């Protein structure tokens, strides 16, 4: 009998977790495992704010996919996924197609601009290694240009971050450390630099403990970040952003750099493939399968699961993506072996830590609040744990964060 083909789309936290667990669980004769990813490397999405600010080299946030997969069990295809043809059980790639018996979709997030004019054209997003490099280089170029131009344009030195959620705050934490270095490098007076955090909602880090939020805000303010909370961005232009001021007025903030960190959605491949979804996220069944598709699992940011305690979706995180990957690998193993008692996914919250640069953080770990160096240490352990779970101790040794203060 022909062995079934399991195709996994995306080598992010969810996809790689699924594949590395599957290659351990299944024998070579039980299934053919195929992994498809745009690049030949995996990047730590949760470290991209560091590469974007320029506080961590982009090579530190990525590693070759081949270094964590067993090539005798997993076939790797480097290509871009365009569409899943569910009726034909095949995936259309930019340069070919691949057929499956079982499919796992883990194509991760995309930036969501909610139709706000000009954001797609004039704002950057922290999405992958390429966008991170672009942001880092752009900011550096603004500083270099300012220092060399005869008629100085101070707006070049203004950086606007749209969004005071996790990504926005973590990026500002890095920026607050990087900007003084750039000022030194290009002989620029730090007082001339403006760093804005512009957020439409009435609060920073919604859902986080208010005491920890106060700690983060006052720390970042001391480092030069100005918060404009309850201030919706109405549009972006080549010169900066337009924000609402009161009920009917608007105000322009001129800025050389605008980074949009206020919204993510699931992959657009989800809609292109005709799945029923909300902003690219499929409300999955308890066993992580897409409703109506017994052969398709969804993992990570493309999956939507409701937290019954508060009747709201769990926020998309690497933590939940990896836990889902483990369950999906178990369920696929059962299906391959014709067992029908699939496992149900339940999220086990191990805590959340938000970094404020390399040397500070806030968080709640095992129900306890942490700040400062303790929290920063915890954050590095969380980062190392993700490496450990996917690539084992050797990956931690190569890529881990050991600069504990
Ligand atoms: C700056 C930042 C900080 C964050 N911090 C945290 C944190 O501290 N803790 C936490 O838990 N979460 C954090 N998150 C959220 C977390 O990174 C995501 O929830 C997580 O990456 C989702 O995992 P995933 O497997 O769905 O997708 P990803 O890990 O993003 O992987 C998706 C993969 O799919 C590939 N891909 C995408 N489209 C295609 C295509 N069409 N064809 C082929 N390949 C494709 C990509 O190249 C990528 O390899 C952060 C996110 C950001 C941006």
Q: What is the dihedral of CA 375, 64, 108, 24, to 10 degrees?
A: -90
pLDDT at 44 over 60: yes
Q: Which atom of ligand 1 is nearest to the CA of 49?
A: 1
Could you tell me if residue 340 is inside a domain? yes
Could you tell me if residue 67 is inside a domain? no
C-alpha Rg value of the chain to the nearest Å: 22
Residues 298 and 161 in one domain: no
Q: Which atom of ligand 1 is nearest to the CA of 302?
A: 26
Among 328, 349, 370, the domain boundary falls at: 349
Residues 373 and 254 in one domain: yes
Task: For residue 11, give its domain range.
Answer: 5-38+79-111+264-349
Q: Tokens at residue 382, please?
A: 């969380």
Sign of CA dihedral 286, 290, 292, 296: negative
From CA 227, how far away is CA 40, in angstroms rounded? Answer: 39
The number of domains in the chain is 2
> Which pTM was predicted?
0.96
Tens-digit pLDDT profile for residues 348-396? 998 999 999 999 999 999 889 999 999 999 999 999 999 999 999 999 9
- Whole-number Å distance, alpha carbon 139 to ligand 1 midpoint, is 23
Could you tell me the CATH number of the domain that includes residue 292? Answer: 3.50.50.100
Q: How many CB atoms lie within 10 A of CB 154?
A: 13
Residues 176 and 203 in one domain: yes
Among 304, 322, 349, the domain boundary falls at: 349
**In what helix (H) or strand (E) does residue 198 lie, and over which residues does it extend?**
strand 194-199
- Whole-number Å distance, alpha carbon 186 to ligand 1 midpoint, is 34
ipTM higher than 0.90?
yes
- Whole-number Å distance, alpha carbon 45 to ligand 1 midpoint, is 5
From CA 23, how far away is CA 19, in angstroms rounded? Answer: 6
- Angle at Cα 347 formed by Cα 323 and Cα 392, nearest 5°? 25
Could you tell me if residue 104 is inside a domain? yes
Residues 297 and 202 in one domain: no
Residues 250 and 389 in one domain: yes
Could you tell me if residue 375 is inside a domain? yes
Residues 152 and 221 in one domain: yes
Q: Helix %, strand %, coil % for the chain, to 5?
A: 35, 30, 35
- Whole-number Å distance, alpha carbon 319 to ligand 1 midpoint, is 11
**CB neighbour class for 337 (10 Å; exposed up to 12, middle 13-18, buried from 19):** exposed
Residues 120 and 235 in one domain: yes
Tens-digit pLDDT profile for residues 14-42? 999 999 999 999 999 999 999 999 999 99
Q: How many CB atoms lie within 10 A of CB 62?
A: 21
- Predicted local confidence at residue 246, as pLDDT: 81
Q: Mark whether 170 is an active-site residue.
A: yes
Partners of 162 in beta bridges: 198, 260
Among 331, 349, 367, the domain boundary falls at: 349
Could you tell me if residue 47 is inside a domain? no
Residues 301 and 186 in one domain: no
Residues 6+ apart with CB under 8 A from 208: 352, 354, 362
Residues 198 and 305 in one domain: no
Q: How many CB atoms lie within 10 A of CB 366?
A: 9
With a Cβ cut-off of 6 Å, ligand 1 is lined by 10-15, 36-39, 42, 45-46, 48-49, 80-81, 106-109, 126, 128, 166-167, 170, 267, 269, 300-301, 316-319, 321
Residues 29 and 125 in one domain: no
* Pairing between β-strand 102-105 and β-strand 296-298 as defined by DSSP bridges: parallel
Tens-digit pLDDT profile for residues 236-276? 999 999 999 888 899 999 999 999 999 899 999 999 999 99
Per-position DSSP letters for 340-395, written without gaps between them: --PPPP-----EEEEESSTT-EEEEETTEEEEHHHHHHHHHHHHHHHHHHHHHHHH
- Which residue's alpha carbon is nearest to atom 6 within ligand 1? 46
Closest CA to 280 of 310, 243, 233, 313: 313
Catalytic residue among 170, 174, 199, 326: 170
Could you tell me if residue 332 is inside a domain? yes
Residues 6+ apart with CB under 8 A from 98: 7, 34, 36, 77, 90, 91
Could you tell me if residue 71 is inside a domain? no
- Predicted local confidence at residue 180, as pLDDT: 98
- Predicted local confidence at residue 56, as pLDDT: 97
From CA 347, how far away is CA 386, in angstroms rounded? Answer: 16
Residues 14 and 131 in one domain: no
Residues 248 and 201 in one domain: yes
Could you tell me if residue 26 is inside a domain? yes
């Amino acid at each position: 009998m022909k062995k079934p083909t399991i195709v996994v789309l995306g080598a992010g936290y969810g996809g790689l977790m699924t594949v590395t667990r599957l290659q351990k669980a299944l024998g070579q004769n039980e299934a053919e495992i195929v992994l498809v990813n745009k690049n030949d490397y995996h990047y730590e999405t949760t470290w991209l704010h560091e590469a974007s600010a320029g506080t961590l080299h982009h090579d530190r946030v990525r590693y070759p996919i081949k270094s964590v997969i067993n090539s005798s069990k997993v076939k790797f295809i480097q290509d871009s996924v365009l569409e899943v043809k569910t009726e034909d059980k095949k995936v259309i790639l930019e340069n070919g197609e691949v057929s499956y018996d079982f499919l796992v979709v883990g194509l991760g997030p995309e930036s969501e601009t909610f139709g706000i004019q000009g954001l797609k054209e004039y704002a950057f997003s922290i999405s992958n290694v390429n966008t991170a490099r672009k942001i880092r280089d752009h900011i550096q170029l603004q500083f270099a240009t300012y220092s060399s131009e005869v008629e100085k344009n101070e707006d070049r030195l203004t950086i606007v971050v749209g969004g005071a959620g996790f990504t926005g705050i973590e990026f500002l934490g890095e920026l607050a450390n990087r900007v003084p270095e750039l000022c030194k490098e290009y002989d620029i007076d730090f007082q001339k630099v403006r760093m804005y955090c512009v957020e439409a909602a009435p609060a920073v880090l919604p859902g986080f403990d208010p005491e920890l939020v106060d700690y983060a805000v006052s720390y970042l303010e001391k480092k030069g970040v100005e918060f404009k909370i309850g201030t919706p961005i109405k549009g972006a232009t080549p010169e900066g952003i337009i924000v609402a001021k009161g009920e009917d007025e608007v105000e322009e903030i001129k800025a050389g750099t605008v980074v949009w960190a206020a919204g993510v959605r699931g992959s657009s491949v989800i809609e292109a493939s005709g799945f029923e979804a909300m902003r690219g996220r499929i409300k999955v069944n308890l066993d992580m399968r897409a409703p109506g598709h017994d052969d398709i699992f969804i993992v990570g940011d493309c999956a939507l699961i409701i937290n019954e305690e508060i009747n709201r979706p769990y926020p998309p995180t690497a933590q939940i993506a990896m836990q889902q990957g483990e369950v999906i690998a178990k369920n696929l193993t059962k299906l391959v072996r014709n067992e029908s008692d699939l496992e149900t996914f339940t999220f086990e919250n191990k805590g959340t830590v938000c970094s404020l640069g390399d040397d500070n953080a806030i968080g709640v770990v095992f129900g306890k609040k942490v700040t400062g160096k303790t929290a920063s240490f915890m954050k590095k352990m969380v980062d190392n744990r993700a490496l450990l779970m996917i690539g084992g101790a050797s990956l931690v040794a190569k890529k881990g964060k050991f600069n504990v203060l």
